[in-house]
Amino acid sequence: MSGEPAAPSGQAAALLRRAERWQLWEIALWIIAVAMIFVMPSHMLILTEIAILALLAVSLDLILGYAGIVSLGHAAFFGLGAYSAGLFAKFAITEPVTGLLFAGAVSGVFGLATSFLVLRGSDLTRLMTTFGVAMLLAEVVNQTGWLTGGADGLSGVTVTPILGLFEFDLWGRTGYIYSLIVLMAVVFISRRIVNSPYGLSLKAIKRNPTRAAMLGISPNRRIVVIYTIAAVFAGMAGALLTQTTSFVSPDALAFHRSADVLLVLVIGGAGYLYGGILGAVIFTILRDWLSVITPQYWMFWIGLILIVIVMVGRERVTRWQALLPGSAANREAKARAAALAAARDAA
Amino acid sequence: MLTILFDGIAYGMLLFILACGLSITLGLMNFVNLAHGAFAMAGGYITVIMMNRYGISFYWCLPAAFLVTALAGAVLERTLYRHLYGSPHLDQVLFSIGLVFMSIAAIDYLMGGQQQLINLPPELRGRFEFLGVGIGRYRLFVIIICAILAVALQLALTRTRFGSQLRAAVDDGRVARGLGINVSLIFVATFAFGSGLGGLGGALGADLLGLDPNFPLKFLIYFMIVVTVGGTSSISGPFIAALLLGIADVAGKYYVPQLGAFIIYAVMILVLILRPHGLFSREGGR
Amino acid sequence: MIPALETRNLTKRFGSFVATSDVSLSVRPGARHALIGPNGAGKTTLINLLTGVFAANSGQILLGGEDITALPAHARVRRGLSRTFQINQLFADMTPLDSVMLAIGEREGHGRLGWRPLSADRVVADEAAALLERFRLADVMGSATTLLPYGKQRLLEIALAIATRPRVLLLDEPAAGVPEEERHEVLGIVRDLPADVTVVLIEHDMDLVFSFADRISVLVGGALFAEGTVAEISGDARVKAIYLGEDA
């Protein structure tokens, strides 16, 4: 009997460690991403685009996949970061990393200020407020043409070498490496966040806010924090876009960007961080391929894909992530499928 | 001054007709249909095609726009929408965004990306002075039609058998079905009617609002403002909200053009913070 | 002696319907207090008022002498008031281990934004494992909650409430819906709750009530109808007429 009580605690520790372990496919993914620098040197620009979109999607995943907040205006933070970085480079410091941090900070402050809007009400009011905030920002940019260049965009953004050492080259190699490092850093930080007790509380709030409150969790504070963090990351994604293209257009705040990033997350699957990355890869390749076939009308196909995904069922579309061996998504997908089946039986 | 008020009322009335279909699907059927503007756009383009290609009278275009979009709404409801009534709002949002994207690209492909113009019948053109107020004939026409529709709608929802059946179907589908109410028929009829109203609004608005493939996105925010500010528990809420929005927007663009749509968005967000269920709804209602 | 939990003239209306009517209740520390009443008597509403799911229209709630009427639900939990739900409120695709880790970690204040991974918290993990073992959930700690048999889910429901280390625990029909063969496990757990925890129990099973409770309050139509010891209540003809008679 005396040896027995230790067994469950050892089992618990093993289970907890297993959930946090770096999976083989995670490591493989990053190796591939790095290898791309050498394998596809002529595709650096599109790879950069993917990395930036992935970063934006990861930030959305934190609030949608983990905290369960539906946002129709995530582009607000992206655009704000893009313009902040642009204006910062134009009027203050041209060094990119400083600009990146500045943009993240601005966006984060804005995220903190607007996070209180998503606390109250239903999905619908959240949709409306996030959408409204994004539209509001777009309108501000539009009306302050003297500062932002209005509809023509902000041009003349000069970026000096990163940390004064690495100059942006014509082929976008530096840009890709820079974006990839930021993406890796953000995913690493996010990974720590979601695997911490705090991350666990987010998952709990999303799944059952009533019970979460009955465990002494104040859902509002937790949501404010993650919303702010997501805003910081989204702002950084925007800054990367500005710095790698030396240009900001109002397109950074456009509605379709909020919709695109939702689609990215839907393709890749929400709630396990890597959905944003995989989704960004698929989405960008798909869009490029479609726009080659039908240059102007790829929007049609994107729309069709959205509808098909929803009609087939998001769960089913993203089931492939469960194939990733030993992944948390694997286990969660199994549980989710069982939960769905149980719910269907009950209904 | 009064002319601006008059224009604002016309604009607001039009927004009401455009948005009340959305208010119905959202409030009664709890479906977030961001694609509502696509139906309105369809109504507009039907009018443009009928008038400009086939020379059909504007007056015939209005009922045609209503009927064709209502039919399209019914078909889409039967084939797609009805599968998503119980789905999470995120699914409904993604689905309807998909529809919006498809409609934008399709119209762009079929009709081109330029602004569409229609020639109103001569008796609806121009302005006349009435007690010192400049009154646009067409705007007056819009106001009259929309006012009739608003009253009819209010009566239809509160006084008729269909209205009470609809409310029963929404409150508890299972019970309504048990009472012998054909719930799915009611839903398809309601959805079709809402879409048709959107189409009619699009036809009426082709001249006032402008019409191009981006219509569904451009006016989405306006519809949403009407619905969120007005609440979805009644017809009168969105009606008042639409009027206020119309007047505020016209007046704002006239007096402080540099602020643009800023004020409107800000007011919407403010209302959402203070009254998440809408300005005119009874708190705690469904 | 300060009551562990006390309500003063607590009233809740939904529109014109009075769900809780002028309820003044006092539960002494360490009590096993049962709350009974026919269906629709407002038992669960009362629990919801006590725990802050609903806000009362008037009246006061005191926990250990402290007025908690205006506090949000999570703040009441932090002050030592915990509950279970009549219908399981669990985290469907999280494991029992994660759920219990969460409850303990939150109690210890680890839930704020942090850098330390869950697995680094050995003290919490050990406590979680011990708790899971006590609740006979050790063998299923790693599987998704929805996959567990109903009785196990019911145990987890109670385990989560216990994990917050409450001073006052409100149990809303803990054995409801549990199949006969798993029932004794749940009831055993309820009986073995630490003596210093004040327990308020809602239950329909009179055998359980009479064997478990040392004091009983009868709620009828949202109002407190009778209160007394087990002997007093079981001997009360009016209670029998209204409540027990109906059940028999």
Distance from CA of B151 to the nearest CA of A (A): 28
Whether residue A317 is predicted with pLDDT greater than 70 in this model: the reply is no
Given this model, what pLDDT does residue C163 score?
Answer: 92
Whether the Cβ atoms of residue A191 and residue A256 lie closer than 8 Å to each other:
no
Convert the pLDDT of each residue in B170-203 to its tens digit: 777 677 777 777 778 888 888 898 899 999 999 9
Convert the pLDDT of each residue in A96-135 to its tens digit: 999 999 999 999 999 999 998 888 767 777 888 888 889 8
Distance, in Å, from the CA atom of A89 to the CA atom of A241, rounded to the nearest integer, reads 13
In a domain, B182, yes or no: yes
CB contact under 8 A, A70 and B228: no
Convert the pLDDT of each residue in A19-75 to its tens digit: 888 888 889 999 999 999 998 888 899 999 999 999 999 999 999 999 888 898 999
- The helix or strand, by DSSP H or E, that contains position C106, with its residue range, turns out to be helix C96-107
Whether the Cβ atoms of residue C84 and residue C157 lie closer than 8 Å to each other:
yes
Whether the Cβ atoms of residue B50 and residue B276 lie closer than 8 Å to each other:
no
Of A127, A135, A143, the CB nearest to B258: A143
Whether the Cβ atoms of residue C118 and residue A196 lie closer than 8 Å to each other:
yes
CB contact under 8 A, C117 and A196: yes
Contacts of A119 in chain C (CB under 8 A): none
In a domain, B28, yes or no: yes
Distance, in Å, from the CA atom of A215 to the CA atom of A63, rounded to the nearest integer, reads 21
In a domain, B153, yes or no: yes
Please enumerate in sequence order all residues whose Cβ is within 8 A of that of B46, keeping only pairs 6 or more positions apart, or say none: B61, B64, B65, B68, B69, B199, B203
Distance, in Å, from the CA atom of C238 to the CA atom of C236, rounded to the nearest integer, reads 6
Domain regions of chain A by residue span:
33-279
Nearest CA in chain C to A213: C74
CA dihedral A228, A230, A234, A240 (to 10 degrees): 100
In a domain, B196, yes or no: yes
In a domain, B46, yes or no: yes
- C153 interface with A at CB cutoff 8 Å: no
Nearest CA in chain A to B261: A139
Residues of chain B with pLDDT under 70: 173, 232-233, 260, 276-286
Contacts of A131 in chain B (CB under 8 A): 221, 224
Nearest CA in chain C to A340: C146
CB contact under 8 A, A196 and C115: yes
CB contact under 8 A, A8 and C133: yes
- The helix or strand, by DSSP H or E, that contains position C211, with its residue range, turns out to be helix C206-212
- Subunits with 3+ Cβ pairs within 8 Å of A are B, C
Residue A332's pLDDT band (boundaries 50, 70, 90)? low
pLDDT means per 10 residues, chain C with 248 residues, are 90 87 91 88 90 90 92 92 90 90 89 80 89 89 88 91 92 85 82 89 84 89 88 83 58
CA dihedral A267, A269, A270, A276 (to 10 degrees): -60
Distance from CA of A277 to the nearest CA of B (A): 19
CB contact under 8 A, B268 and A122: no
**Residue A96, φ and ψ in degrees, nearest 5:** -65, -45
Return the number of CB contacts < 8 Å for A and B. Answer: 128
In a domain, B25, yes or no: yes
Of C53, C103, C112, the CB nearest to A215: C103
Tally of domains within chain B: 1
Distance, in Å, from the CA atom of B21 to the CA atom of B216, rounded to the nearest integer, reads 14
Question: Within 10 Å of residue C111's Cβ, how many Cβ atoms?
Answer: 25
Contacts of A336 in chain C (CB under 8 A): 92-93
Given this model, what pLDDT does residue A6 score?
Answer: 52
Residue A1's pLDDT band (boundaries 50, 70, 90)? very low
Residue of A130, A136, A142, A305 for testing the chain B interface, max B β-carbons within 10 Å: A136
For residue C7 the two structure tokens come to 């309500």
Distance, in Å, from the CA atom of A138 to the CA atom of A118, rounded to the nearest integer, reads 19
Distance from CA of A148 to the nearest CA of B (A): 15
The parent domain of residue B196 ranges over: 2-222
Distance, in Å, from the CA atom of B47 to the CA atom of A46, rounded to the nearest integer, reads 42
Distance, in Å, from the CA atom of A269 to the CA atom of A263, rounded to the nearest integer, reads 9
Distance, in Å, from the CA atom of C99 to the CA atom of C143, rounded to the nearest integer, reads 11
Of A131, A262, A297, the CB nearest to B108: A297
In a domain, B41, yes or no: yes
Whether the Cβ atoms of residue C80 and residue C168 lie closer than 8 Å to each other:
yes
Given this model, what pLDDT does residue A233 score?
Answer: 97
What is the value of ipTM here, to two decimals? 0.86
Contacts of A136 in chain B (CB under 8 A): 262, 265-266, 269
B30 torsion bin: left (phi>0), alpha (psi -120 to 50), beta (else)? left
The parent domain of residue C87 ranges over: 5-247
Tally of domains within chain C: 1
- Subunits with 3+ Cβ pairs within 8 Å of C are A
In a domain, B111, yes or no: yes
Instruction: Name the fold adopted by A33-279.
Output: ABC transporter involved in vitamin B12 uptake, BtuC (1.10.3470)
Question: Within 10 Å of residue B124's Cβ, how many Cβ atoms?
Answer: 16
**What is the DSSP-derived secondary structure letter of residue A166?**
B
User: Residue C21 maps to which CATH number?
Assistant: 3.40.50.300
Convert the pLDDT of each residue in A219-276 to its tens digit: 888 999 999 999 999 999 999 999 999 899 998 998 889 988 999 998 888 888 999 9
Parallel/antiparallel/unpaired status of strands C215-220 and C81-83: unpaired
Distance from CA of A150 to the nearest CA of C (A): 38
